[in-house]
């Protein structure tokens, strides 16, 4: 797509994906999104990170079962280490994508002044082929749950990339995608 040079921005657009543990769903979303961003040639303009609402897996690599499914199904290696969502993330990111309602509510609760609520969305809002409203927690289930997570995330990430690219057209001067 062509973006009017007058509307270019210099700061990258920053996306944060959030689940409970930051070892299954949100690192998958982060890595799938990075894959799509690279394919679109937008790596310098859109930055991704992920976090968990819990402290359970701080410093841990992505779950082995999730990594195996991402490698087998998508050929994507999951990179990153678990970290916990922190209040400064509200300022540091442009969009915060929650995997399920519980994550969504827990994030909103941390925004005590309610000035960042507009940045927080459910990931499935961006799906066009799936009707599920949440990305289900696969942690205590079988292989099929991990595959379902990937199916939903591919759909959502494609929609999200389209949204970010179209929003760039209405960004104030000084912004660049
Ligand atoms: P995630 O999955 O939120 O998609 O990373 C989970 C990982 C760990 C746990 C629950 C969900 N846990 O209970 O340790």
Domain annotation covers residue 6: no
Shortest-distance atom of ligand 1 to CA 149: 4
Per-residue confidence (pLDDT) for residue 167, from 0 to 100 = 84
Q: What CATH number is associated with residue 23?
A: 3.40.50.2300
Per-residue model confidence as pLDDT tens digits over 137-150:
999 999 999 999 99
Per-residue confidence (pLDDT) for residue 168, from 0 to 100 = 72
Per-residue confidence (pLDDT) for residue 80, from 0 to 100 = 98
Give the span between the Cα atoms of 13 and 66, in whole angstroms.
Answer: 27
Domain annotation covers residue 175: no
Q: Is 81 one of the catalytic residues?
A: no
Domain annotation covers residue 124: yes
Among protein residues, the one whose CA lies closest to atom 12 of ligand 1: 21
Give the span between the Cα atoms of 77 and 85, in whole angstroms.
Answer: 23
pLDDT bracket for residue 131 (50, 70, 90): very high
pLDDT bracket for residue 171 (50, 70, 90): low
Q: Is 83 one of the catalytic residues?
A: no
Q: Which two tokens stand for residue 49?
A: 């990170």
Between these two residues, 101 and 9, which has the higher pLDDT value? 101
Domain count for the chain: 1
What proportion of the chain, given as a percentage, has pLDDT over 90? Answer: 87
Domain annotation covers residue 9: no
* Cα-to-centroid distance, 96 and ligand 1 (Å): 18
Q: Is 127 one of the catalytic residues?
A: no
* Cα-to-centroid distance, 8 and ligand 1 (Å): 38
Per-residue confidence (pLDDT) for residue 130, from 0 to 100 = 98
Domain annotation covers residue 143: yes
Residue 118 pLDDT > 50 = yes
Per-residue confidence (pLDDT) for residue 172, from 0 to 100 = 62
Per-residue model confidence as pLDDT tens digits over 36-95:
999 999 999 999 999 999 999 999 999 999 999 999 999 999 999 999 999 999 999 999
Q: Summarize the confidence of residues 118-142 as an average pLDDT.
A: 98
pLDDT bracket for residue 176 (50, 70, 90): low
Which residues have CB under 6 Å of ligand 1?
Answer: 19-25, 56, 137, 139
Q: What is the DSSP string of 105-169?
A: HHHHHH-TT-SSGGGEEEGGGG-SS---SS----TTS-HHHHHHHHHHHHHHHHHHHHHHHHHHT
Domain that holds residue 49: 14-168
Q: Which two tokens stand for residue 54?
A: 């819990």
* Residue to mutate, 24, 124, 138, ligand 1, most ligand atoms under 8 Å from C-beta: 24
Domain annotation covers residue 51: yes
Residue 4 pLDDT > 50 = no
Domain annotation covers residue 30: yes
Give the span between the Cα atoms of 156 and 131, in whole angstroms.
Answer: 11
For residue 1, give every residue at least 6 positions away whose Cβ sits within 8 Å of its Cβ, in sequence order, or none.
Answer: 165
Alpha-carbon torsion (54, 56, 62, 66), positive or negative: negative
Domain annotation covers residue 134: yes
Q: What is the dihedral angle through the alpha carbons of 10, 86, 53, 19, rounded to the nearest 10 degrees?
A: 10
């Amino acid at each position: 797509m062509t973006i009017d040079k007058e509307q270019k921005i210099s700061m990258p657009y920053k996306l944060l994906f959030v689940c409970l543990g930051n070892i299954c769903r949100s690192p998958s979303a982060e890595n799938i999104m990075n894959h799509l961003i690279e394919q679109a040639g937008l790596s310098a303009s859109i930055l991704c990170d992920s976090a968990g609402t819990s402290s359970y897996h701080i410093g841990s690599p992505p779950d082995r079962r999730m990594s195996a499914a991402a490698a087998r199904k998508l050929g994507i290696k999951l990179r990153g280490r678990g970290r916990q969502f922190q209040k400064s993330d509200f300022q540091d990111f442009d969009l915060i994508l929650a995997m399920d309602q519980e994550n969504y509510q827990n994030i909103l609760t941390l925004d005590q002044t309610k000035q960042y609520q507009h940045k927080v969305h459910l990931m499935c809002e961006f799906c066009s082929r799936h009707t599920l409203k949440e990305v289900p927690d696969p942690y205590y289930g079988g292989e099929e749950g991990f595959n379902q997570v990937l199916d939903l995330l591919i759909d959502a990430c494609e929609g999200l990339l389209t949204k970010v690219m179209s929003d760039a057209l209405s960004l104030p001067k000084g912004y660049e995608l």
